[in-house]
Amino acid sequence: MGHLAPAFGEEFHLASDDEVLAVDFWSYLNARQARLPLGAEATPLWDLLEELERELEPLLDERTALGHREFLAATAQRWSAEAGRPALRREVRREVGAMLGEALASSAIKAVPGEDAAPATQGRNHAQQG
Amino acid sequence: MLSKADNDLLCQVGPGTPAGELLRRYWHPVAVAEDFSPEQRTKRVKVLGEELVLYLTDENTYGLVQEACAHRRVSLHYGFVEGCNIRCAYHGWLFDERGQCLEQPFEQENRRFRERVAIRAYRAREYRGIVFVYLGPDPAPVLPEWDVLYRRDGALKIFVEEDLQCNWLQPMENAVDTVHTYWLHGHTMRTRGLKGGEYYYRPIEKYSFERNEWGILKKRVYRNTATGELDPEKGHPLIFPNVLRLPEGPTQAMHWRVPADDTRMILIRASLVPDPPGQERQHDEPPTVIRVPRALNERGDHAMDTFPSQDRMAWETQGEIYDRSLENLGAEDKGIAMYRRLLREQIELVAAGQDPMALIRDPAKARVDFDVSTGQGRKEFVNQAY
């Protein structure tokens, strides 16, 4: 574990809305990619993050009949249970699956009446302004 | 964030530098045919850190040689073109298109001395009013006939921007910075009460970057604020290593960002405006050339009233060579990171003696077409900001 240091908890601002959480989590993975070192040694991790983002995209592109929480929970469970090879892929998928599971659990706790939703990324911000 | 070593690796373009060697594998536009006439046969050009002279031969072809004469370093910009050769205006030494010295009028006939004297010389070719040069090793790749240039179904305009005072990588990173269009163009135009930024001034729901055979295809998904529906773009490519192919309103455009040296850049744009339905004709006329000076306001600041001025502000104010050790990249910068990784990968390929991507070796494949987004060309967004 620990391929995506620093700790997820320090960087990911939890949203109380599952739709926003989906965009934020996808953005978080993109940001992790953007910050990878330039050298070829980071390429396997780059490719693995790309793969994970693609698996979230049916939700973002509205290409799934599943609800946001249902889709994200199933995805987190699938990644967390990854048992395939190579080892790096297994470890990264499990690590990111745990992060997504943690985000879902925490956002469910946070989503109580009166609680402000965390600021979203991308379109949500623009939608308010544009 | 990049280390200084990595920043230098990607930014430096002179002879012998890794990125310079990569960029030397491609044809680059540096001038327009309109720069030349029977009265003006030569033009100084600086490209990839090399000071050169481009000249129009008697055969209507172009020669490209180092600016300094091999004799006593006087500029060949003032030279006399003779056939396909150029003669120095100082003492008359004559050089052919390959840079070989042919004559030294005031020297005794000494063939061995003369044959030892040569200047650097490169290939140059004109296509659709643009003069392209190739500074790399033989064999040169095929000069691409990009769709914007070869198509005859509309009027072609060539825009030659006043050289930019920045490293070439800054505009290229901007080419894969998909969300800058919201603030830099959409918001700026709106706050100034100007038309042209409407397409970009909409919620961006998502963006993506896909590597393909030509470079990186970038796409945005907008939210249609009227209907609430998603409005995905088909996308448009960064053509590796230094070209952007894009729609600009109803026009099909290409932007070439050519390093003059590490801190200056040549920017040439081509725009094809297809004829409206029912008015189509074959356009065999030469392209219209438009010179675009740096646009400053009365205070000497960037005017910020056109897309080129807004882009120039962003690129130049990052500094002559942007210090990437001071940046903080986020999710929106993924395309930039992808492009840097691609650059590094291709630099390593060239260093290993291989061809980099997006070169054409087969003349039968010279014509290249792109199917790009038409979003800006839709009726509700047709406003020419460029």
Asked if residue A127 belongs to a domain, the reply is no
Q: Could you please state the CATH topology (level 3) that the domain comprising B145-381 is classified under.
A: Naphthalene 1,2-dioxygenase Alpha Subunit; Chain A, domain 1 (3.90.380)
Contact between B203 and A123 under an 8 Å Cβ cutoff? The reply is yes
Backbone torsion region of residue B93, taken as left when φ is above 0, otherwise alpha when ψ lies between -120 and 50, otherwise beta: beta
Residues of B in Cβ contact (< 8 Å) with A62:
230
Which candidate in B7, B205, B223, B343 is best for mutational testing of the A interface (most A CBs within 10 A)?
Answer: B205
Residues of A in Cβ contact (< 8 Å) with B232:
61
CATH number of the structural domain B27-134: 2.102.10.10
Average pLDDT along chain B: 95
Tens of pLDDT, residues B272-301:
999 988 999 999 999 999 999 999 999 999
Q: What ranges do the domains of chain B cover?
A: 27-134, 145-381
Nearest by CB to residue A123, choosing from B204, B331, B340, is B204
- Spatial CB neighbours of B328, under 8 Å, sequence gap ≥ 6: B1
B133 sits in which H/E element: strand B130-134
Decide if pLDDT at B223 tops 90. no
Confidence of residue A117 (pLDDT cuts 50, 70, 90): very low
Q: Is the minimum CB–CB distance between B204 and chain A shorter than 8 Å? A: yes
The domain total for chain A is 1
Asked if residue A45 belongs to a domain, the reply is yes
Decide if pLDDT at A9 tops 90. no
Q: Is the minimum CB–CB distance between A119 and chain B shorter than 8 Å? A: no
List C-alpha distances in Å: A24 to A14, A100, B202, B292, B361. Answer: 8, 11, 19, 41, 44
Q: Is the minimum CB–CB distance between A11 and chain B shorter than 8 Å? A: no
- Spatial CB neighbours of B334, under 8 Å, sequence gap ≥ 6: A30, A31, A33, A34, B209
Cβ separation A31–B331 shorter than 8 A: yes
Domain holding A78, by residue range, is 8-111
Supply the pLDDT for residue A7. 64
Tens of pLDDT, residues B195-219:
989 889 998 988 999 999 999 999 9
Overall pTM surpassing 0.95 (yes/no): no
Percent above pLDDT 70 for chain A:
77
- Spatial CB neighbours of B262, under 8 Å, sequence gap ≥ 6: B11, B12, B13, B14, B49, B167, B320, B321
The pLDDT of B117-128, averaged and rounded, is: 98
Asked if residue A120 belongs to a domain, the reply is no
